[in-house]
Amino acid sequence: MTRLCLYLALGAAAVLALAGAWHQAKQSGRDAARAEQADIIARKLNDATMADDAHARCLADPACRLSNDGFRRD
């Protein structure tokens, strides 16, 4: 009977260890996905900021405004 209890205890410990490893792997996968999404959002925000800055610089420069005027007939 004591061997049976020992085997059951070892089996339960193995199952708990596997469940813990599975949970940790699942959580690290979620963290990696969150980090990837944050990186994509940061890149898009940086691109939008650069485009906005370029647009503001072009609006301040008369030569740039005239070259981008679609209604000009030169």
pLDDT in the model for residue 66: 64
User: Could you give the number of structural domains in the chain?
Assistant: 1
Residue 9 lies in a domain: yes
For each of the chain's 74 residues, which pLDDT tens digit applies? 688 888 889 899 999 899 999 888 888 888 888 999 999 999 999 999 998 888 888 888 877 766 666 665 55
Residue 55 lies in a domain: yes
Residue 17 lies in a domain: yes
Residue 72 lies in a domain: no
Residue 74 lies in a domain: no
End-to-end CA gap in the chain: 100
Instruction: Provide the 8-state DSSP code for 61.
Output: -
Residue 73 lies in a domain: no
* Domain limits for position 11: 2-67
Six-digit token string for 66: 């005239």
Residue 34 lies in a domain: yes
C-alpha 73/C-alpha 20 separation (Å) is: 71
* CB-based contact 32:26 (threshold 8 Å): no
pTM: 0.54
Residue 27 lies in a domain: yes
